[in-house]
Amino acid sequence: MRHGKLPIFILFLLLPLGTHAQRQVLNMPEHDDKLYYFGITFGMNFSVHKINYSSSFATTDTFTSIQPLWQPGFNLGLMGSLRLSSFVDFRFVPSLAFAEKRLKFQYGPPSDSLSNRSIESIYMHLPFQFKFKSDRIKNFRFYGLAGGKFDYDLAANARSKRPDEFIKIKPVDYGVEFGVGFEFFNPNFIFSPEIKVSQGFANQLFRDEGLQLTNAIDRLSTRMIVISIHLEG
C-alpha cells in the first residue's frame, strides 16, 4: 500500500513545477513579426597579428624571433536588423573597436636585446552579417551568424614621418566573421550575449625599407575574438 502511494506523492511534488511552466509569461510576443529593429552593443575584444615571415628572416641574423601577442580591447556600437524570414535576419553593426596588438621580437648578436612593442588601433568597424535563428523556446533562442566586415583603422601610421616608428600599418582591412549567441527575452528588451571570431584578409603591413622589422615580415593580417552584449528592442 505504501508503495502505491509513492507515485501519487511524486506527482503532487511535480505538479507545481508544471503549473509554473504553463504560466510562464511570453515576453515581447510581437517581436518576431517586426520587419526591422535596433539595438546597442558593447563588449571586449582580443586581437593579434598573424605573421608571415619574409625570406630574409631565415637568411639573416638581424632578428632571432618575432612573436605576436594577444591583447585586450573594447567595442561600442549600434545595431540594425532586418527580418528576411522567420529564421534569418540581415544585420548591420557599425561600431568603434579600440584594439591593441603586440609584437615581441629579439635582435640577433651582438646585442641580443629583447623588445616588446604595442600597435594600437581604433577601427571603424562595419560588419554585415546573416543571423540564423532557432525556434523560440519561451523566452530563449539560440542563433549563429556569418558575414563579412570592412575595417578602417583611424590610428594607422602608414604615412607617419615620426623617427621612432618600429613598424607601419595600413588603415584598410576586410575579412569574414563567424559566431554564436543567445537571446533572452525580457519584458522590454532582448539581452543577447555573443562571441564571434573575425579574420582579416588584407595585408596590413606598409613596407618601409628603412625599418628593419619590415624587412623580416612579408605579411601581417589581423585576427580578433569579440565577446559582446547586445541590448535590442
* HSE, side-chain direction, 13 A CA sphere, residue 184: 6
Q: What is the pLDDT of residue 36?
A: 96
Count: domains in the chain = 1
Mean pLDDT of 5-31: 59
- Band (pLDDT 50/70/90 cuts) for residue 12 is very low
Mean pLDDT of 8-34: 64
**91-147 pLDDT, tens per residue?**
999 999 999 999 999 988 888 899 999 999 999 999 999 999 999 999 999 999 999
Mean pLDDT of 2-16: 46
Q: What is the pLDDT of residue 120?
A: 95
Give the separation between CA 170 and CA 153, rounded to whole angstroms. Answer: 8
Q: What is the pLDDT of residue 55?
A: 86
Kindly report the CATH number assigned to the domain that includes residue 69. Answer: 2.40.160.20
Higher local confidence (pLDDT), 209 or 147? 147
Mean pLDDT of 201-220: 92
pTM of the model: 0.85
Antiparallel, parallel or unpaired: β 88-92 and 172-185: unpaired
The residue range of the domain holding 160 is 2-232
**54-82 pLDDT, tens per residue?**
988 888 888 999 999 999 999 999 999 99
Antiparallel, parallel or unpaired: β 217-232 and 36-53: antiparallel
H-run or E-run covering 133: strand 114-133
Lowest mean pLDDT among 3-7, 34-38, 107-111, 143-147: 3-7
Q: What is the pLDDT of residue 23?
A: 61
For residue 31, give Cα distances in angstroms to 25, 26, 51, 199, 209: 14, 11, 45, 32, 56
For residue 160, give Cα distances in angstroms to 103, 167, 174, 224: 19, 10, 22, 25
* Closest of 119, 221, 137, 116 to residue 183, by C-alpha: 137
**152-173 pLDDT, tens per residue?**
999 999 988 888 899 999 999 9
- Band (pLDDT 50/70/90 cuts) for residue 1 is very low
**173-205 pLDDT, tens per residue?**
999 999 999 999 999 999 999 999 999 999 999
Contacts of 191 (CB under 8 A, 6+ apart): 183, 184, 229, 230, 231
CA 129 to chain centroid: 12
